[in-house]
Amino acid sequence: MRAVDHDYDVQTRVTGLDELRVRRPGEACLVVIHAPVQADLGRRYVLDKSETTVGRGRDNDIVLPSDCVSRRHARLEQRGGNLFVVDLVSTNGTYINDDVHTVRERQLQRGDRLKIGDTIFKYLSGSDIELQYHEIIHRMAVTDGLTDLANRKRLDSLLEEEIPRARRHGRELSVLMLDIDHFKSVNDTHGHLTGDSVLRGLAGILQRRLRPSDRLGRYGGEEFCVILPETSLHNAAKIGEELRSLVEAHAFVAEDKNIRVTISVGVGSLQESMSLADLYKTADEMLYKAKRTGRNKVCH
Ligand SMILES: Nc1nc2c(ncn2[C@@H]2O[C@H](COP(=O)(O)OP(=O)(O)OP(=O)(O)O)[C@@H](O)[C@H]2O)c(=O)[nH]1
Protein backbone atom coordinates (compact mmCIF):
# COMPACT_ATOMS: atom_id res chain seq x y z
CA MET A 1 0.00 0.00 0.00
CA ARG A 2 1.21 3.49 -0.71
CA ALA A 3 1.78 5.36 2.54
CA VAL A 4 -0.57 8.24 1.88
CA ASP A 5 0.41 10.21 4.95
CA HIS A 6 4.13 10.49 4.31
CA ASP A 7 4.29 10.80 0.58
CA TYR A 8 3.99 14.36 -0.54
CA ASP A 9 3.74 15.63 -4.08
CA VAL A 10 3.08 19.06 -5.46
CA GLN A 11 -0.67 18.69 -5.26
CA THR A 12 -0.43 17.56 -1.66
CA ARG A 13 1.58 20.62 -0.77
CA VAL A 14 -0.97 22.90 -2.31
CA THR A 15 -4.05 21.27 -0.87
CA GLY A 16 -2.70 19.57 2.22
CA LEU A 17 -4.63 16.49 1.05
CA ASP A 18 -2.54 13.41 0.58
CA GLU A 19 -5.20 11.24 -0.87
CA LEU A 20 -5.91 13.28 -3.95
CA ARG A 21 -2.94 12.27 -6.01
CA VAL A 22 -3.25 11.16 -9.61
CA ARG A 23 -4.78 7.72 -9.93
CA ARG A 24 -3.52 4.95 -12.16
CA PRO A 25 -6.28 3.15 -14.07
CA GLY A 26 -6.95 -0.32 -12.70
CA GLU A 27 -5.12 0.40 -9.43
CA ALA A 28 -6.83 -1.43 -6.55
CA CYS A 29 -8.10 0.84 -3.80
CA LEU A 30 -10.08 0.69 -0.60
CA VAL A 31 -12.28 3.73 -0.15
CA VAL A 32 -13.80 4.63 3.22
CA ILE A 33 -17.58 4.88 2.79
CA HIS A 34 -18.50 4.88 6.48
CA ALA A 35 -16.32 6.05 9.36
CA PRO A 36 -16.62 7.30 12.95
CA VAL A 37 -14.66 10.42 11.95
CA GLN A 38 -16.51 12.33 9.23
CA ALA A 39 -13.33 13.75 7.70
CA ASP A 40 -12.21 10.20 6.84
CA LEU A 41 -15.15 9.63 4.49
CA GLY A 42 -14.00 9.09 0.92
CA ARG A 43 -10.39 8.57 2.02
CA ARG A 44 -8.59 6.29 -0.43
CA TYR A 45 -5.98 3.66 0.38
CA VAL A 46 -4.06 2.41 -2.64
CA LEU A 47 -3.27 -1.31 -2.37
CA ASP A 48 0.07 -1.36 -4.16
CA LYS A 49 1.85 -3.81 -1.84
CA SER A 50 1.57 -7.59 -1.93
CA GLU A 51 0.27 -7.46 1.67
CA THR A 52 -1.55 -4.68 3.49
CA THR A 53 -2.35 -4.93 7.18
CA VAL A 54 -5.31 -3.27 8.88
CA GLY A 55 -5.62 -2.75 12.63
CA ARG A 56 -5.60 -0.45 15.62
CA GLY A 57 -1.83 -0.70 16.10
CA ARG A 58 0.20 2.16 14.66
CA ASP A 59 2.45 -0.25 12.78
CA ASN A 60 -0.34 -1.31 10.41
CA ASP A 61 -0.55 -0.01 6.85
CA ILE A 62 -4.12 1.09 7.47
CA VAL A 63 -4.55 2.32 11.03
CA LEU A 64 -8.07 2.39 12.46
CA PRO A 65 -7.76 3.91 15.95
CA SER A 66 -10.97 2.43 17.35
CA ASP A 67 -11.63 0.20 20.37
CA CYS A 68 -13.67 -2.22 18.27
CA VAL A 69 -10.70 -2.90 15.98
CA SER A 70 -8.04 -5.42 17.07
CA ARG A 71 -4.43 -4.38 17.24
CA ARG A 72 -3.74 -6.48 14.15
CA HIS A 73 -7.14 -7.13 12.66
CA ALA A 74 -6.96 -8.21 9.02
CA ARG A 75 -4.59 -8.57 6.08
CA LEU A 76 -5.22 -7.91 2.39
CA GLU A 77 -3.17 -10.06 0.04
CA GLN A 78 -2.59 -9.70 -3.70
CA ARG A 79 -2.42 -13.15 -5.25
CA GLY A 80 -2.19 -13.58 -9.02
CA GLY A 81 -4.06 -10.37 -9.76
CA ASN A 82 -6.79 -11.09 -7.20
CA LEU A 83 -7.30 -9.53 -3.80
CA PHE A 84 -7.94 -11.67 -0.73
CA VAL A 85 -8.89 -10.60 2.77
CA VAL A 86 -7.69 -12.67 5.73
CA ASP A 87 -9.09 -12.06 9.22
CA LEU A 88 -6.25 -12.30 11.77
CA VAL A 89 -8.46 -13.89 14.44
CA SER A 90 -9.73 -10.47 15.40
CA THR A 91 -12.05 -10.03 18.40
CA ASN A 92 -14.93 -8.49 16.47
CA GLY A 93 -14.48 -10.06 13.05
CA THR A 94 -14.23 -8.92 9.44
CA TYR A 95 -17.37 -8.80 7.32
CA ILE A 96 -18.05 -8.63 3.60
CA ASN A 97 -21.23 -7.00 2.27
CA ASP A 98 -24.27 -8.14 4.28
CA ASP A 99 -22.71 -11.32 5.70
CA VAL A 100 -23.57 -11.95 9.33
CA HIS A 101 -20.58 -14.21 9.91
CA THR A 102 -16.99 -13.09 9.97
CA VAL A 103 -14.76 -14.18 7.09
CA ARG A 104 -11.60 -16.15 7.78
CA GLU A 105 -10.24 -15.79 4.26
CA ARG A 106 -12.09 -14.72 1.11
CA GLN A 107 -11.42 -13.28 -2.32
CA LEU A 108 -12.81 -9.77 -2.72
CA GLN A 109 -14.72 -8.73 -5.84
CA ARG A 110 -14.74 -5.15 -7.13
CA GLY A 111 -17.57 -3.29 -5.45
CA ASP A 112 -17.53 -5.45 -2.29
CA ARG A 113 -17.97 -3.69 1.03
CA LEU A 114 -15.52 -4.65 3.78
CA LYS A 115 -16.50 -3.92 7.39
CA ILE A 116 -13.78 -3.73 10.02
CA GLY A 117 -14.91 -2.37 13.39
CA ASP A 118 -16.90 0.81 12.79
CA THR A 119 -15.30 1.52 9.39
CA ILE A 120 -16.71 0.30 6.08
CA PHE A 121 -14.50 0.28 2.98
CA LYS A 122 -15.48 -0.28 -0.61
CA TYR A 123 -13.11 -2.17 -2.87
CA LEU A 124 -12.78 -0.20 -6.13
CA SER A 125 -10.31 0.23 -8.94
CA GLY A 126 -8.62 3.46 -10.07
CA SER A 127 -10.78 3.71 -13.16
CA ASP A 128 -14.14 3.32 -11.38
CA ILE A 129 -16.47 6.29 -11.73
CA GLU A 130 -17.63 5.58 -8.20
CA LEU A 131 -14.09 6.08 -6.90
CA GLN A 132 -13.93 9.45 -8.59
CA TYR A 133 -17.25 10.36 -7.03
CA HIS A 134 -16.01 9.45 -3.53
CA GLU A 135 -12.84 11.48 -4.10
CA ILE A 136 -14.78 14.57 -5.09
CA ILE A 137 -17.03 14.25 -2.04
CA HIS A 138 -14.02 13.75 0.20
CA ARG A 139 -12.21 16.70 -1.29
CA MET A 140 -15.23 18.93 -0.80
CA ALA A 141 -15.62 17.79 2.81
CA VAL A 142 -12.06 18.57 3.87
CA THR A 143 -11.02 21.50 1.65
CA ASP A 144 -11.69 25.20 1.98
CA GLY A 145 -13.29 26.26 -1.29
CA LEU A 146 -11.70 29.72 -1.47
CA THR A 147 -8.04 28.93 -0.75
CA ASP A 148 -7.96 25.21 -1.57
CA LEU A 149 -6.28 24.61 1.79
CA ALA A 150 -7.29 22.04 4.40
CA ASN A 151 -10.39 23.25 6.23
CA ARG A 152 -10.98 23.28 9.97
CA LYS A 153 -12.34 19.72 9.96
CA ARG A 154 -9.23 18.48 8.19
CA LEU A 155 -6.94 20.43 10.54
CA ASP A 156 -8.66 18.77 13.48
CA SER A 157 -8.17 15.30 12.05
CA LEU A 158 -4.52 16.03 11.18
CA LEU A 159 -3.87 17.19 14.75
CA GLU A 160 -5.71 14.17 16.12
CA GLU A 161 -3.12 12.08 14.26
CA GLU A 162 -0.11 14.28 15.04
CA ILE A 163 -0.63 14.58 18.82
CA PRO A 164 -0.39 10.83 19.58
CA ARG A 165 2.43 10.51 17.02
CA ALA A 166 4.44 13.23 18.79
CA ARG A 167 3.80 11.60 22.20
CA ARG A 168 4.71 8.13 20.95
CA HIS A 169 8.05 9.25 19.55
CA GLY A 170 8.77 11.83 22.27
CA ARG A 171 8.86 14.59 19.63
CA GLU A 172 7.82 18.19 19.79
CA LEU A 173 4.77 19.57 18.04
CA SER A 174 3.78 23.20 17.64
CA VAL A 175 0.90 25.13 16.16
CA LEU A 176 0.72 28.65 14.73
CA MET A 177 -2.53 30.58 14.62
CA LEU A 178 -2.35 33.50 12.17
CA ASP A 179 -4.88 36.24 11.68
CA ILE A 180 -4.85 39.14 9.22
CA ASP A 181 -4.80 42.51 10.98
CA HIS A 182 -7.68 44.90 10.32
CA PHE A 183 -8.96 42.73 7.51
CA LYS A 184 -12.40 44.27 7.82
CA SER A 185 -10.97 47.52 6.49
CA VAL A 186 -9.57 45.67 3.40
CA ASN A 187 -13.09 44.47 2.65
CA ASP A 188 -14.63 47.83 3.46
CA THR A 189 -12.14 49.78 1.34
CA HIS A 190 -11.62 47.48 -1.64
CA GLY A 191 -14.63 45.17 -1.61
CA HIS A 192 -15.20 41.56 -0.66
CA LEU A 193 -13.84 40.11 -3.91
CA THR A 194 -10.52 41.86 -3.38
CA GLY A 195 -10.57 40.56 0.20
CA ASP A 196 -11.04 37.06 -1.19
CA SER A 197 -8.11 37.54 -3.53
CA VAL A 198 -5.89 38.65 -0.61
CA LEU A 199 -6.90 35.51 1.32
CA ARG A 200 -5.93 33.33 -1.66
CA GLY A 201 -2.65 35.19 -2.14
CA LEU A 202 -1.80 34.88 1.53
CA ALA A 203 -2.45 31.13 1.41
CA GLY A 204 0.08 30.89 -1.45
CA ILE A 205 2.75 32.92 0.37
CA LEU A 206 2.47 30.84 3.53
CA GLN A 207 2.40 27.55 1.62
CA ARG A 208 5.52 28.38 -0.38
CA ARG A 209 7.56 29.09 2.74
CA LEU A 210 6.47 25.99 4.67
CA ARG A 211 7.96 22.51 4.41
CA PRO A 212 5.98 19.64 2.91
CA SER A 213 5.56 18.07 6.34
CA ASP A 214 4.02 21.26 7.78
CA ARG A 215 0.27 21.46 7.45
CA LEU A 216 -1.42 24.71 6.58
CA GLY A 217 -5.16 25.17 6.75
CA ARG A 218 -7.80 27.87 6.89
CA TYR A 219 -9.17 27.80 10.40
CA GLY A 220 -12.02 30.12 9.48
CA GLY A 221 -12.61 33.64 8.11
CA GLU A 222 -9.28 35.46 7.95
CA GLU A 223 -7.62 33.05 10.37
CA PHE A 224 -5.10 30.37 9.31
CA CYS A 225 -3.44 27.57 11.22
CA VAL A 226 -0.11 25.83 10.67
CA ILE A 227 0.69 22.46 12.25
CA LEU A 228 4.45 22.07 12.70
CA PRO A 229 5.48 18.49 13.55
CA GLU A 230 8.86 17.98 15.24
CA THR A 231 9.16 21.70 15.95
CA SER A 232 9.91 23.31 19.33
CA LEU A 233 8.17 26.43 20.61
CA HIS A 234 11.34 28.42 19.95
CA ASN A 235 11.65 27.25 16.32
CA ALA A 236 7.92 27.64 15.70
CA ALA A 237 8.18 31.26 16.87
CA LYS A 238 11.05 31.77 14.39
CA ILE A 239 8.95 30.34 11.56
CA GLY A 240 6.04 32.53 12.67
CA GLU A 241 8.32 35.56 12.55
CA GLU A 242 9.51 34.66 9.05
CA LEU A 243 5.92 34.31 7.84
CA ARG A 244 5.00 37.61 9.48
CA SER A 245 7.84 39.46 7.78
CA LEU A 246 7.15 37.81 4.38
CA VAL A 247 3.55 39.01 4.53
CA GLU A 248 4.56 42.50 5.67
CA ALA A 249 6.95 42.80 2.70
CA HIS A 250 4.44 41.56 0.12
CA ALA A 251 2.24 43.73 -2.07
CA PHE A 252 -0.95 41.89 -3.01
CA VAL A 253 -2.18 42.93 -6.42
CA ALA A 254 -5.91 42.96 -7.08
CA GLU A 255 -7.60 44.93 -9.87
CA ASP A 256 -4.47 47.03 -10.44
CA LYS A 257 -4.30 47.99 -6.79
CA ASN A 258 -1.44 47.22 -4.44
CA ILE A 259 -2.75 46.06 -1.09
CA ARG A 260 -0.60 45.59 1.95
CA VAL A 261 -1.61 43.64 4.99
CA THR A 262 0.08 42.37 8.14
CA ILE A 263 -0.59 39.33 10.27
CA SER A 264 -0.54 38.59 13.98
CA VAL A 265 0.68 35.18 15.05
CA GLY A 266 0.16 33.10 18.19
CA VAL A 267 2.34 30.07 18.90
CA GLY A 268 1.48 27.04 21.02
CA SER A 269 3.48 23.88 21.73
CA LEU A 270 2.27 20.51 22.90
CA GLN A 271 2.84 19.95 26.62
CA GLU A 272 2.17 16.82 28.62
CA SER A 273 -1.52 15.94 28.97
CA MET A 274 -2.63 18.73 26.61
CA SER A 275 -5.64 17.89 24.45
CA LEU A 276 -6.23 19.10 20.90
CA ALA A 277 -8.51 21.83 22.28
CA ASP A 278 -5.84 22.92 24.81
CA LEU A 279 -3.24 23.24 22.05
CA TYR A 280 -5.51 25.40 19.90
CA LYS A 281 -6.45 27.43 22.97
CA THR A 282 -2.82 28.15 23.88
CA ALA A 283 -2.00 29.33 20.35
CA ASP A 284 -5.24 31.33 20.26
CA GLU A 285 -4.47 33.08 23.55
CA MET A 286 -1.06 34.05 22.19
CA LEU A 287 -2.69 35.32 19.00
CA TYR A 288 -4.97 37.57 21.02
CA LYS A 289 -2.02 38.77 23.04
CA ALA A 290 -0.35 39.75 19.74
CA LYS A 291 -3.51 41.59 18.72
CA ARG A 292 -3.88 43.34 22.08
CA THR A 293 -0.27 44.44 22.20
CA GLY A 294 -0.07 46.14 18.82
CA ARG A 295 -0.61 43.55 15.99
CA ASN A 296 1.92 42.61 13.25
CA LYS A 297 3.84 40.53 15.80
CA VAL A 298 4.40 36.99 17.02
CA CYS A 299 3.64 35.97 20.63
CA HIS A 300 4.55 32.72 22.32
N1 LIG B 1 -13.37 38.84 1.70
C2 LIG B 1 -13.56 38.01 2.72
N3 LIG B 1 -13.62 38.48 3.97
C4 LIG B 1 -13.80 37.63 4.98
C5 LIG B 1 -13.93 36.25 4.77
N6 LIG B 1 -14.08 35.66 5.99
C7 LIG B 1 -14.06 36.64 6.92
N8 LIG B 1 -13.89 37.84 6.32
C9 LIG B 1 -13.87 39.17 6.91
O10 LIG B 1 -12.83 39.31 7.84
C11 LIG B 1 -13.15 40.44 8.67
C12 LIG B 1 -12.73 40.15 10.07
O13 LIG B 1 -12.97 41.30 10.80
P14 LIG B 1 -12.70 41.43 12.34
O15 LIG B 1 -12.98 40.12 13.02
O16 LIG B 1 -13.41 42.63 12.82
O17 LIG B 1 -11.16 41.60 12.47
P18 LIG B 1 -10.14 42.54 11.72
O19 LIG B 1 -10.79 43.67 10.98
O20 LIG B 1 -9.24 41.65 10.89
O21 LIG B 1 -9.33 43.15 12.93
P22 LIG B 1 -8.31 42.43 13.90
O23 LIG B 1 -8.41 40.94 13.71
O24 LIG B 1 -8.72 42.85 15.27
O25 LIG B 1 -6.96 42.95 13.52
C26 LIG B 1 -14.66 40.69 8.52
O27 LIG B 1 -14.85 41.85 7.79
C28 LIG B 1 -15.12 39.47 7.70
O29 LIG B 1 -16.18 39.80 6.84
C30 LIG B 1 -13.88 35.78 3.42
O31 LIG B 1 -14.00 34.59 3.13
N32 LIG B 1 -13.69 36.69 2.44
Helix axes 152-169, 129-142, angle to 10 degrees: 90
What element of type H or E holds 95?
strand 94-96
Closest C-alpha to ligand 1, atom 14: 184
* pLDDT at site 133: 79
* pLDDT at site 42: 84
Identify how many contiguous H helices and E strands the chain contains and give both numbers: 7, 17
Same domain, 55 and 91: yes
Q: Compute CA distances 22 → 52, 126, 214, 218, whole Å.
A: 21, 9, 21, 24
Answer whether 182 contacts ligand 1 (Cβ < 6 A).
yes
Same domain, 135 and 170: no
What single-letter amino acid sits at 82? Answer: N
Q: Which of 142, 165, 181 is the last residue of a domain?
A: 142
Answer whether 180 contacts ligand 1 (Cβ < 6 A).
yes
CATH number (domain holding residue 43): 2.60.200.20
Distance CA(261)–CA(145), nearest Å, equals: 22
Tell me, yes or no, whether 16 lies in a domain: no
Range(s) of the domain holding residue 61: 27-142
Find all residues with CB under 8 Å of 81, minimum gap 6, and list them: none
User: Which tens digits make up the pLDDT trace of 115-155?
Assistant: 999 999 999 876 777 777 777 888 888 899 899 999 999 99
Same domain, 158 and 289: yes
Closest C-alpha to ligand 1, atom 12: 184
Distance CA(96)–CA(116), nearest Å, equals: 9
Same domain, 289 and 156: yes
ipTM over 0.95: no
Distance CA(171)–CA(81), nearest Å, equals: 41
Tell me, yes or no, whether 298 lies in a domain: no
CA of 166 to the centre of ligand 1 (A): 33
**What predicted TM-score, i.e. pTM, was given to this entire model?**
0.72
Same domain, 277 and 214: yes
Distance CA(195)–CA(202), nearest Å, equals: 11
Q: How far is CA 145 from the centre of its chain?
A: 15
* pLDDT at site 14: 31
Percent of the chain with pLDDT over 70: 91
* pLDDT at site 18: 47
Same domain, 132 and 75: yes
CATH number (domain holding residue 167): 3.30.70.270
Total tally of structural domains belonging to the chain? 2
Same domain, 165 and 232: yes
Q: Which of 113, 142, 171 is the last residue of a domain?
A: 142
Answer whether 292 contacts ligand 1 (Cβ < 6 A).
no
Instruction: List, for the chain, all residue ranges whose pLDDT scores fall below the cut of 70.
Output: 1-26, 126
* pLDDT at site 2: 41
Q: Which of 142, 161, 186 is the last residue of a domain?
A: 142
Quick one: which atom of ligand 1 is closest to the CA of 295?
Answer: 25
Tell me, yes or no, whether 22 lies in a domain: no
Tell me, yes or no, whether 19 lies in a domain: no
CA atoms within 13 A on the CB side of 223: 15
Same domain, 281 and 157: yes
* pLDDT at site 135: 77
Same domain, 196 and 98: no
